[in-house]
Structure 1
Amino acid sequence: MNPVIGLDVSKGESHAQAFLDRGVPHGKIFKFNHDLEGLSSFLNYVRAVESAAGVSPCIVMEATGHYHSPVVQFLDEHQYLYIVINPLISYEAKKTNLRRVKTDAADAYQLGALFYKEEFEPIKKRGQHLMNLRYLTRQYESLTGMYVQAKLQFQAILDQVFPEYHGVFGDLYSKVSLRFLALHPTSKEVLGMTVEEITTTIQRLTGRGRSVSWCLERAQILAAAARRNPFKETAFPSHLISMQLLIKLLLQYQDHLSDLDKSIETLAEELLEYDLIQSIPGIGTKIAATILAEIGEIDRFDHAKKLVAFAGVDPSVFASGKFVATQNRITKHGSRRLRTALYQAVRCGIRSNRNKKLRAYYDKKRAEGKLFKVAVIACVNKLIHWIFAILTSKEAFRLE
């Protein structure tokens, strides 16, 4: 027998349908909550199926964001094999049904039946390390998005309070720039200070990181900016409150991103593939960690084309009768984060001729009349084939 349990996961609860073999459902739909009592009852249900079939069942579920995480961790703890499939696969399978039925019970049944129609690979144990890396890289991406939004809001407020402050420091969002602005947010306050006082304040905020001459130069530029400012005080005191809040947020985001960056690097360095992927010019530490985390176990892919499809850069195909489409867009069905990381890697590689092989391939595509983005996606496809070869052979990239 080849038993399987189809599991439809939702927020806080799941529905399960067991099969002892293809076309042989076992028992009724089983519903349980994602708490200790519910998961314990699910464990008894799995053991009952195991007893009836004589072998341990595999559990099949869809990827549902973070909702399936408690079930996955519970199954890991009790050493049961499970498969997490792309929701697109199950969605397309449901469309083959003539009857339009959408219930949790029906979804669980269809997931179990789908197991016998497709070839799926169970999640492997080493994947847990990669999952940790994936959570961290995704958290970094999410936090970076919030940091960018806070920067945009801060810039909008600064334009209404002290527009001439832009350009005083090389980096507007550096710690010394933000901390000085937190102490003296208006041009009126800066004009009330001497150049020596401004220099002393900047020195105190930078610590020993900058020379006295650098601090003096910034102070002079800042004093000149305050004199050029079109108004001395803002007409809206609420802007000052918002600015103080945003400065605190920006500094906190910087600290959190720095901590996450260190954690990602520490975790990634434990993987042999981390250094191997970085042997490709254009792929740095962040991109390498994201690519590894999103790909997961390379054993899941027996050909580079499957990895291309997983990244969602495979071309869509359309043909009907004698008509065959010649302009096909990429499917974008795969991992968006992997696709973005690969796109960034290509842009870095072809810039300033860092990756000569990739640059030559890009120039060739452009010479063929391909548009910029079409040529870049062709390079992404080429890069995926290189990554697949590196991860399967465990050998570094060679430019020769």
Structure 2
Amino acid sequence: MTLFVGIDVSSKELETCFMNTDGDKLETLTVKNNLEGAAHLRDRIVALADKHAVSEIHIGLESTSVYSWHPAMYLHSDPTLQERHTKVFTMNPKLVSKFRETYPDLNKTDRLDAWVIADRLRFGRLTTTIVMQEQYVALQRLTRMRFHLIHNLTREKQYFLQNLFYKCNAFTTEVESSVFGHAILEMLSEKYSLDDIATMDVGDLADYLRDKGRNRFPDPENVARCIQKAARASYRLSKVVEDSIDLVLGTSIQAIRSIQAQLKDLDKAIEQILETIPGSLCLRSVPGIDRVYAAGILAEIGDIERFSDQAAVAKYAGLTWRKSQSGAFEAEDTKRIKSSNRFLRYYLVEAANSVKNRDEEFGEYYRKKYKEVPKHQHKRALVLTARKLVRLVDVLLRNGQLYTPRKKVTPAKD
């Protein structure tokens, strides 16, 4: 017999329902969502397992933000439960919600939610346990924080450019150098007025850029002339408005630099963990997959053995499409599944976009898919290329091998 344990998780409590293989409710239990409560729950699971002589234990929790993480990890790693062949599943709330719809007369309470989770476990067909080993969990925390910071940095740069338009509306059209280079940010943080910049000696401005840019400008005099041209062509602000814009720009520059410094610290920590994961070398052997993409993919997949095959990985990433067929009719235009890991999908699609530019086989596949349809060519071709990349990632990680591009056979000349 298999013991099914459904747990409805909240920030304060773990509402639990125990069910046997026939769907009979054996017991219910409510404990606090803390270490003491989880230990009591563990003891009750063990007692019931021994009482009913179960051969396997399946524990299911809804993936409710951070609240389910601690109990899932505790129950997964407990040696007493491991001895009894325990599998822990963190289930997508949408999966549980859809299953609940099969019981239209069921009330909505935490205890009944636990019963629904246990019953969904009993029906099976859950592709993988979502609990990962510690190094993957640590890597995932870092990569998701990096993902968060990158999006914050993008928003902050967009906000900076909006305010820069108030101060110097012609800057981005006249100056080809990046606004976010160290030298130009230093100049903008000095709170020079447009008249100060326009009347400054070109040589002095070029020397300033050369010094602040650490001699990285190939032609600082030309950049200085472009900046002065932009300053002369831009609208003038009143003193009170200009002062406020200078303060906003200075604050935004500090925010940008703070995020960039945080990213450097994260990248160092990510690199240290990657060195302990053998799969990192396998993924980084693929042209176009760098440290960032490899870390993001590994952090979300974890141990590849959690998945039965590459199709399960693709489904987890949301890179599969629903089939719509009735009688002799089969729809050609179908929708991609939405209940998936958005972080894994993001890293796979971004990696595919990079790989297609560096690997001949993936480049040819992308161009082939691009030409197949008249609309949304790039988006469709890129997602399909990401689906192809899943197969490669699965093979490399499962076999622990490095990537070797396929060699084209050239026909022999007569």
SS of residue paired to 1:136? helix
Alignment of 1:98-113 (within 5 A): 98-113=104-119
Q: Match for 1:50 among 46, 52, 68? A: 46
> Quick one: which amino acid aligns to residue 234 of structure 2?
N
Moved more, 131-140 or 223-232: 223-232
Q: In structure 2, how many angstroms separate the alpha carbons of the residues matched to 1:367 and 1:21?
A: 51
Q: Match for 2:366 among 362, 366, 370? A: 362
> Quick one: which amino acid aligns to residue 71 of structure 2?
V
Q: Offset of 1:52 from its aligned partner? A: 3.4
State whether structure 2 residue 297 is matched by structure 1 residue 291. Answer: yes
Q: In structure 2, how many angstroms separate the alpha carbons of the residues matched to 1:192 and 1:349?
A: 48
Q: Offset of 1:228 from its aligned partner? A: 3.3
Match of 2:62 in 1: 62
Q: In structure 2, how many angstroms separate the alpha carbons of the residues matched to 1:240 and 1:70?
A: 46
Asked whether the 8 Å contact 1:61–1:83 carries over to 2, the reply is yes
Q: Offset of 1:251 from its aligned partner? A: 1.1
Match of 2:235 in 1: 230
Describe the shift of the 1:43–1:154 C-alpha distance in structure 2 as closer, same or farther (beyond 3 A). same
Q: In structure 1, how many angstroms separate the alpha carbons of the residues matched to 2:238 and 2:201?
A: 18
Residues 266-324 of structure 1 show CA distances to partners (whole Å, capped at 9, x for unaligned) of: 22222111121122222222111111111122112222222221111211112234432
Q: Offset of 1:47 from its aligned partner? A: 0.6
SS of residue paired to 2:107? coil
Q: TM-score, normalised by structure 2?
A: 0.84
Describe the shift of the 1:309–1:273 C-alpha distance in structure 2 as closer, same or farther (beyond 3 A). same
Q: In structure 2, how many angstroms separate the alpha carbons of the residues matched to 1:59 and 1:211?
A: 58
Instruction: List, as ranges, runs of 4+ consecutive aligned residues in structure 1 with deviation greater than 6 Å.
Output: none
Asked whether the 8 Å contact 1:175–1:251 carries over to 2, the reply is no
Match of 2:270 in 1: 264
Describe the shift of the 1:269–1:212 C-alpha distance in structure 2 as closer, same or farther (beyond 3 A). closer
State whether structure 2 residue 349 is matched by structure 1 residue 343. Answer: yes
Alignment of 1:213-252 (within 5 A): 215=220, 217-231=222-236, 236=241, 237-252=243-258
Unaligned runs of 5+ in 2: 407-414
SS of residue paired to 2:9? strand
Moved more, 89-98 or 381-390: 89-98
SS of residue paired to 1:364? helix
Alignment of 1:1-400 (within 5 A): 1-19=1-19, 22-32=22-32, 34-35=33-34, 39-54=35-50, 58-75=58-75, 78-79=78-79, 80=81, 81=86, 82-120=88-126, 121-122=128-129, 127-166=133-172, 168=175, 170-191=177-198, 193-195=200-202, 197-199=204-206, 201-206=208-213, 209-210=214-215, 215=220, 217-231=222-236, 236=241, 237-351=243-357, 354-369=358-373, 371=375, 372=377, 373-400=379-406
Asked whether the 8 Å contact 1:161–1:234 carries over to 2, the reply is no
SS of residue paired to 2:61? strand
Q: In structure 2, how many angstroms separate the alpha carbons of the residues matched to 1:212 and 1:59?
A: 60
Q: Offset of 1:122 from its aligned partner? A: 4.3
Q: In structure 1, how many angstroms separate the alpha carbons of the residues matched to 2:259 and 2:57?
A: 45
Asked whether the 8 Å contact 2:72–2:90 carries over to 1, the reply is no
Q: In structure 2, how many angstroms separate the alpha carbons of the residues matched to 1:201 and 1:161?
A: 20
RMSD (Å), alpha carbons = 2.8
Asked whether the 8 Å contact 1:20–1:49 carries over to 2, the reply is no
Q: Offset of 1:388 from its aligned partner? A: 1.0
Describe the shift of the 1:27–1:76 C-alpha distance in structure 2 as closer, same or farther (beyond 3 A). closer
Q: Offset of 1:22 from its aligned partner? A: 4.4
Residues 183-220 of structure 1 show CA distances to partners (whole Å, capped at 9, x for unaligned) of: 134213334644455455445534xx317985555444
Describe the shift of the 1:64–1:200 C-alpha distance in structure 2 as closer, same or farther (beyond 3 A). same
Q: TM-score, normalised by structure 1?
A: 0.87
Residues 196-251 of structure 1 show CA distances to partners (whole Å, capped at 9, x for unaligned) of: 55455445534xx3179855554444344333333265551322222221111111
Q: Offset of 1:157 from its aligned partner? A: 0.7
Describe the shift of the 1:284–1:370 C-alpha distance in structure 2 as closer, same or farther (beyond 3 A). farther
The alignment of Structure 1 onto Structure 2 pairs a total of residues equal to 391
> Quick one: which amino acid aligns to residue 232 of structure 2?
R
SS of residue paired to 1:116? helix
Unaligned runs of 5+ in 1: none
Describe the shift of the 1:158–1:84 C-alpha distance in structure 2 as closer, same or farther (beyond 3 A). same
Asked whether the 8 Å contact 1:186–1:233 carries over to 2, the reply is no
Moved more, 71-80 or 270-279: 71-80
Describe the shift of the 1:20–1:42 C-alpha distance in structure 2 as closer, same or farther (beyond 3 A). farther
Asked whether the 8 Å contact 1:278–1:284 carries over to 2, the reply is yes
Asked whether the 8 Å contact 2:5–2:19 carries over to 1, the reply is yes
Identity percentage of aligned residues: 23
Q: In structure 2, how many angstroms separate the alpha carbons of the residues matched to 1:151 and 1:362?
A: 31
SS of residue paired to 1:26? strand
Describe the shift of the 1:269–1:169 C-alpha distance in structure 2 as closer, same or farther (beyond 3 A). farther
